[in-house]
A and B are shown apart, each in its own frame.
Chain A
Amino acid sequence: MSLSTITHRGPEISDAIVSFDPITLQRKPVKKADVLVQFKELRNHEAVRIVERIPERDGVLDPAAVDKILITSHCEMQRMSEEFQHGKRVAELLKPILDALRDGGVQNPIRIVDIGCGTGFVIRWLAASGSLGDDVELMGVDFNVALLNEANRLAAIENLRCKFQVANAFRLDEPATVFISTGILHHFRNESLSYLLQQHCRPETCAFIHFDFHSSPMAPLGSWLFHVVRMREPLARHDGVLSAVRAHKSRYLLEVTRSAAPEFVSAIYGTRLWRMPIPRVFHSLVGIRPKFHDAFIRNMGPRIASLGKIE
């Protein structure tokens, strides 16, 4: 993968090679030629080469081949999450929130829903750690059946207490108490980002934590280096680098959230390492209903300062 990948602005290949009907959640055929034209117009020759290698049937990208690439990519992404202790990082923020909700009298069970969970690493990690408490239900949702089948298969092997469902996270029969996500915010631009956050404003939802790449001058180069040395699947390499390039700036994310979801007290955590001007790989957008906010801050204790909060 050449360093020029960091000059591209998007979209990511994984956004272009799959399409779902937002209402029925049915998968729609994606014409290979359309995807190639899109990337050629963007002069993203690397993406063109990667898409050209994906098998097609009657001009449509082969869904099975696409799913195989996506599952492989998610497995490689999980490696990176493990190296950067992402499961622990999520738990560190979730626990003070859950304690605040319990203290505030939120009824059991507390349902944590991971939006766009892919193969469900975070949900499975949290289930395996067993650290959140028995009153917590863990659920991952995604539009991609193949990714969720893989998540369910992996969870079954390890006998983990969590479930995965093809669903719109905001239209679940049993609504989420806390929404979480990893690496999805940068896929949403402008109005769609605002719409995503607006949908958190439902009575049952008490908080959300969205982790994504932290935009910093060094992020694209650092991401390129890590994806070169850690990833094998060309799509995972390409999209991983582009994720860091496309990451929303913390202040922008916060402004959009406050405007779209004013019912929550929102802040960005994890912008710098300890109290030094060292940027982190991931930052987290946290929103919590005002009645739980003080307890959450109290529960965070000294950790809150080391996370570098923007509010």
Chain B
Amino acid sequence: MIAGLLWLLATVDSAFIGYREAAGRNALIRKSAYFHRALIRGALFGQIAVLIVGVITAVVLISSRDAGALFSKFELVGVRMLTVYIPYALILLITFCIRAVPSVDIRSITSVLIFGPFTFIRPVIVLAGAVWGVVAVPGAITIALTVLIVSLMLGLEYALSWLRSRGVIS
């Protein structure tokens, strides 16, 4: 359940990273297909990040003397991360629902009050969730895994931009 929720949030977050990375690079007017591709690309690259974390977590658990205890620790970290990430995600979700109202003013105000500021504070939220998780179960393994997760969450947009600069994505 906890792993599933984290996966869901990671997938949605990476899809929006894909969107953000693609935004401002295509000046056509009708470009919904371009943004759909960007969302899917982001979500797929997010799966690579999830896979990396999943494989490393599995290896760590398998090689642990007490896999059950370690798994419980990871779960506790995950729960605490979710307590930070879920409210953030819910606010954005509600804002998306509000933005569905076909009003220029309402859509603009969602950007001014939520989407802009929340994009600005996203790195802080990512770090806050990680720190909040780790302080519950401090230890070399949990810290290392959390650092990896944070690096992947914050590094994905740069990775996509780098791939675009190399002509791998367009």
Interface residues of A (CB under 8 A from B): 74-76, 78-79, 83-85, 87-89, 92, 119, 121, 124-125, 128, 150, 154, 157-158, 160, 222, 225-226, 228-232, 273-274, 278, 280-281, 306
Contact = CB atoms under 8 A, between A and B. Distances in A.
Given A78-B24, A79-B24, A273 B109 contact: yes
Nearest to A126: B29
A273 B105 contact: yes
8 contacts: A79-B24, A83-B111, A121-B29, A158-B28, A226-B116, A229-B120, A280-B108, A281-B108
Interface of B: 23-30, 104-105, 107-109, 111-112, 115-117, 119-120
Nearest to B110: A83
A85 B23 contact: no
A119 B24 CA distance: 13
B27 A75 contact: yes
Contacts of A281: 108, 112
A154 B26 CA distance: 10
Nearest to B21: A232
Given A78-B27, A79-B24, A231-B24, A84 B108 contact: yes
Would you list the 4 A-B pairs with minimal beta carbon distance, nearest first? A79-B24, A76-B24, A128-B29, A229-B119
A58 to B, nearest CB: 30
A142 to B, nearest CB: 15
Nearest to A274: B105
Contacts of A226: 116
Contacts of A79: 23-24
A222 B120 CA distance: 11
B24 A158 contact: no
A85 B30 CA distance: 14
A85 B25 CA distance: 17
Given A128-B29, A306-B105, 8 more contacts: A83-B111, A92-B104, A158-B30, A160-B29, A225-B116, A230-B119, A273-B109, A278-B109
A3 to B, nearest CB: 12
Contacts of B23: 79, 230
B117 A158 contact: no
Contacts of A92: 104
B111 A84 contact: yes
Nearest to A71: B27
B29 A228 contact: no
A158 B29 contact: yes
Given A84-B111, A225-B117, A226-B116, A75 B105 contact: no
B100 to A, nearest CB: 13
Contacts of A78: 24, 27
Nearest to B104: A85
Given A76-B24, A83-B111, A230 B116 contact: yes
A297 B29 CA distance: 30
